[in-house]
Amino acid sequence: MSDALWVALGASVGAPLRFWLGRRLDGALPWGTLAVNVAASLVLGLCVGWSVDGAALALVGAGFCGGMSTYSSFAVQTRDLGRGRGTTYAVLTLGLGLGAAALGYWLAG
Amino acid sequence: MASSSRVLLAVAVGGAAGAVLRFLLGEVAPDGAGFPWTTFAINVVGCALLAGLELLPLARRSETWAAGIGPGLLGGFTTFSATSEQGRSLLAAGDTLLAGGYLLGTLAACLVAVGVVGRIAPPLPREDEM
């Protein structure tokens, strides 16, 4: 149960960091949201590669990475960007996110 | 306009609550080795709720509450990093079709959810899309 407190602590840093970067960097494309989603995928890949578990995984993985990354904002932004830019944004986010997770996992190995 | 530190605090508190909720759902129904249904469902539900944020009078009235519930609670509840890592893990296990189905299926289901709810809800202010 105490793992839930670590999750809360990690997310209470990750979520406002995402919001702050989004306000600064989101423009014609939501670069801030893209950056936090890719960065969180990289860090989570590192955690899994290093076999981080228990309280540390709760804090960094489920908390910080989960709180910093977002699917809901990503989906709403994709819709609002329209067909052309929305497709570019979605492809970039999914591709770079997957690549970042793989890179993190590989770097940890 | 609400002070930006109050809005950031609301996002922090909401984000913590959303992430804990996601974590507890994962404890109750772990994703397991196949299709990560729990994370899939969390993301689809979170996307639908964010698209409908403006249906909530509290969110329409208060910038702080809108940020706490939208980018905070729902941003913390949904996760992109877990989806990427699960996709990577499925690919590494040789489940290419499952990985592709999961990554593209999540995107498609979330976009459909956002589109359907968006037909009945007013559009989000740009700040609450974050």
Please name the residue ranges forming H helices in A61-109: 66-68, 72-108
- Measured from the Cβ of residue B29, the count of other Cβ atoms closer than 10 Å reads 12
Q: Is the ipTM of this complex over 0.90?
A: yes
pTM over 0.90: yes
Which of B17, B70, B81 is facing A66, going by the closest CB pair?
Answer: B81
Under an 8 A CB cutoff, do A79 and B115 touch?
A: yes
Under an 8 A CB cutoff, do A15 and B110 touch?
A: no
Under an 8 A CB cutoff, do A41 and B85 touch?
A: yes
Distance from CA of B25 to the nearest CA of A (A): 11
Under an 8 A CB cutoff, do B84 and A22 touch?
A: no
Which of A9, A63, A77 is facing B129, going by the closest CB pair?
Answer: A77
Backbone angles phi, psi at B102, to 5 degrees: -70, -50
Residue type for position B59: A
Q: What residues of B are in contact with residue A45 (Cβ under 8 Å)?
A: 84-85, 88
- Longest C-alpha distance within chain A, in Å? 45
Cβ-Cβ contacts under 8 Å for B15 (sequence gap 6 or more): A11, A12, A14, A15, A16, A18, A67, B71, B72, B73, B75, B76
Backbone angles phi, psi at A30, to 5 degrees: -75, 75
Q: What residues of A are in contact with residue B119 (Cβ under 8 Å)?
A: none
pLDDT 10s digit of each residue in chain A, 109 long? 599 999 999 999 999 999 999 999 999 999 999 999 999 999 999 999 999 999 999 999 999 999 999 999 999 999 999 999 999 999 999 999 999 999 999 999 8
pLDDT digits (tens, 9 = 90+) for B83-115: 999 999 999 999 999 999 999 999 999 999 999
Q: Note whether B128 and A89 are within 8 A (CB).
A: no
Under an 8 A CB cutoff, do A65 and B81 touch?
A: yes
